[in-house]
Amino acid sequence: MQFSLLTAFVALLPIAFAIPATPVADASLPGSTANVAGLHAVARAAGKLYLGTATDNNELTNTQYTAILEAPNMFGQITAENSMKWDATEPEQGVFTFTLADQIANLATSHGQLLRGHNCVWHQQLPSWVTAGNFNANQLTSIIQNHCGTLVGRYAGRVWDVVNEPLNDDGSFRSDVFFNTLGENYIPIALRTAKAADPHAKVYINDFNIEGLGAKATAMKNLVRTLKSQGVPIDGIGLQSHFIVGEVPTTLVQNMQEFVALGVEVAITELDIRMTLPETAALLEQQKQDYQTVISACQAVQGCVGITLWDFTDKFSFIPSTFPGQGAACPWDQNLVRKPAFDGIVAGF
């Protein structure tokens, strides 16, 4: 199923029902007061295709978590946080394992949720046979084609982050096994392979620090122009959107509009807004405003098709382990209670 096939997707939507706001667990901090049918229902009513979330296999044993994940109209889209990456799907050359990826795909299908494939080619979470194989250009091309073609072909009709994080913050290409062997040609190789494996797939490049105007965003726009001039399929740009409370870019709308003007759609693909701990009422209020700002920006740009949270709860957020001393980045807290950020999302639509 493609993100652009609105009619087909609407047919899969469960009937909306109101989910009452969850009581606040910590009375010393503000909580959510919104009473809506679900975030996805709000997004659809506002004309967007979905409001979704990332999830991971180890989280699916928590029944309190899955009750929210699977609630009708709360999330209309699922991204596999780790189980479709290279180390999880092709740990040995030519040997594919799909047990974990299939679990996420089947979860999405069974609940009428769109599935985003994440990802085909990335510089991290690569098995050593890829990074240390000393492959020549022809060999690595064949490896990329086999890997991308197999993944996209298995999960057909989806949206795929085919190339993930190809750029440095200064706009130069990131040095990794793919670029060092093939130069920037690895990008069209991956995109062409994905589209050939499934002509109905939406193929994206996904990156961070390209959400607002700047050198990296400019470089990504130039890359889109180059790809299009070469006839390389590119349907969308993923704006990861790992933000800091009080530091959301002020040029979100203009930047999205400039991408869309190049003939691609955009999506907010990994949204969270972290803060320096501990949480305070003031930080939570600012976080609420920041979530509203991001959602409002997508809402203002027709070509911004939807928003994905990079998991919806602080309980499973990657932020504390990646950014020590920071956290509380998600709209639900560690106890799976809605925070003011939830209301910010609703207000943004």
Q: What is the reported pLDDT for 26?
A: 67
Active-site pick, 81, 90, 211, 270: 270
Residue 99 neighbours by CB under 8 Å, 6+ apart: none
Mark whether 165 is an active-site residue.
yes
Query: Cα Rg for the chain, rounded, in angstroms?
Result: 19
Cα separation values, 244 from 270, 272, 290, 348, Å: 13, 8, 9, 18
Catalytic status, residue 70: no
Q: What pLDDT was estimated at residue 18?
A: 38
Per the structure block, which two tokens stand in for 338? 């809605």
Q: Give me the residue label for tokens 């490049």.
A: 205
Per the residue annotation, which of 165, 211, 265, 279 is the catalytic one?
165
Encoded tokens for 102: 């299939």
Rounded distance, CA 152 to CA 162, Å?
Answer: 9
Residues whose CB falls within 8 Å of the CB of residue 46, separated by 6 or more in sequence, listed in order:
299, 349
Q: What is the pLDDT of residue 28?
A: 81
Question: Against a cut of 0.75, is the pTM above it?
Answer: yes
Output the CA–CA distances (angstroms, integers) from residue 310 to 28, 87, 207, 281, 290, in the order listed: 26, 20, 14, 23, 15
Q: Which amino acid is at 223?
A: L
Q: Mean pLDDT for each 10-residue chunk of the chain (349 residues)?
A: 37 36 61 94 98 98 98 97 98 98 98 98 98 98 98 96 98 98 98 98 98 98 98 98 98 98 98 98 98 98 98 98 98 98 98
Distance CA 226, CA 173 (A): 14
Candidates 79, 187, 97, 74; CA nearest to 141 is: 187
Measured in residues, the chain has a length of 349
Q: Which of 265, 287, 127 is nearest to 206 (CA)?
A: 265
Q: Could you tell me where the DSSP H helices lie in the chain?
A: 6-12, 39-45, 63-69, 86-89, 99-110, 128-131, 137-154, 177-182, 186-197, 215-229, 252-260, 281-300, 319-322, 340-348
CA–CA distance, 119 with 261 (Å, rounded to integer) = 25
Tokens of 305: 């098709």
Residues 6+ apart with CB under 8 A from 122: 85, 86, 163, 164, 165
Place of tokens 């589209």: 195
DSSP string over 49-89: SEEEEEE-GGGGG-HHHHHHHTSTTT-SEEEESSTTSHHHH
User: What is the enclosing helix (H) or strand (E) of 309?
Assistant: strand 304-309
Assess contact for 2 and 159: CB atoms under 8 A: yes
